[in-house]
Amino acid sequence: MSEYYKPNRTRNLYDPKSTEPFRISRSKIDSFIKCPKCFYLDRRLGVGQPGGFPFNLNTAVDKLLKKEFDIHRANGTAHPLMKAYGLDAVPYAHEKIDEWRDSLRRGITYHDKITNLLITGGVDDVWVSPSGELMIVDYKATSKDEEVNLDADWQITYKRQMEMYQWLFRRNGFKVSNTGYFVYCNGDSDKEAFDSKLEFDIKVIPYIGDDSWIESKITEIKKCLDGKVPEPNPECDFCAYWTARRKFEK
């Protein structure tokens, strides 16, 4: 059994009788959208989907970008990328920036009192305009021959991620621009030699978010958690695998 996968979890489970706020991360909201049954099995019964292996190269890019933008955050100056794309902004200097970026333990949170769910998310960065309007920023890393964009169907996950962060900051009383930015790093594999380094082309892609879907989705999540196990999602790979496997196990 893989050391990464721990089935039959007994902690962080939803209890309908509990009066304590139940923590739901941004990623778990996306899991619910993809498959309510898998979400229910995870958050209510403790049977989560097996996770993939960590993308250490992406993590390294993320850390280096944060270090780079933090230098300008400390100095109150615009990063060269901001200047290159004509953005009148600087990295937002706030005492909670490290807390907001800690998606595993803290993040930015909002307690929805109607559902008693504590919604959380860990943002990559926040920029601010001279008027004090915040711009949510997300870092992405990949390596492909064509130019990076947000046009693929599967990238709806990226867009929902941006909208969740915008919603969370608004619920915490901040003035937030509808336009967020993806700092997209594309590894250049067209060099003559590796020479112990990987170079990236970096593109800043604006995205106009719409968070109007979020509150109704939180209500659906609460109803799901309080109910019975949902039916399988026909578009869920995990459900399809389990259904196919059961035919032979019977």
Angle between helices 214-226 and 156-171 (to 10 degrees): 100
- The SS3 of residue 108 is strand
Amino acid at 62: D
Domains identified in the chain and CATH numbers: 22-226+239-245 (3.90.320)
Tens of pLDDT, residue by residue over 41-94, are 999 999 888 776 666 677 788 888 899 999 999 999 999 999 999 999 999 999
Phi, psi of 146 (to 5 degrees): -85, 165
**In the predicted structure, residue 245 carries a pLDDT above the cut 80:** yes
Res 11: pLDDT: 84
Res 2: pLDDT: 46
Q: Find where tokens 């509808």 sit.
A: 178
Q: Which structure tokens are listed for 20?
A: 């304590």
Res 192: pLDDT: 61
Tens of pLDDT, residue by residue over 17-48, are 999 999 999 999 999 999 999 999 999 999 88
Q: What's 17's DSSP letter?
A: T
Tens of pLDDT, residue by residue over 112-132, are 999 999 999 999 999 999 999
123 contacts 176 by C-beta, under 8 angstroms: no
- Band (pLDDT 50/70/90 cuts) for residue 3 is low
Nearest to 108 by CA among 69, 165, 70, 63: 165
- Band (pLDDT 50/70/90 cuts) for residue 1 is very low
pTM for this predicted structure: 0.89
Nearest to 110 by CA among 176, 36, 39, 180: 176
**In the predicted structure, residue 196 carries a pLDDT above the cut 60:** no
Q: Is the dihedral of CA 15, 16, 17, 23 positive or negative?
A: positive
Number of CB atoms found within 10 A of residue 170's CB: 15
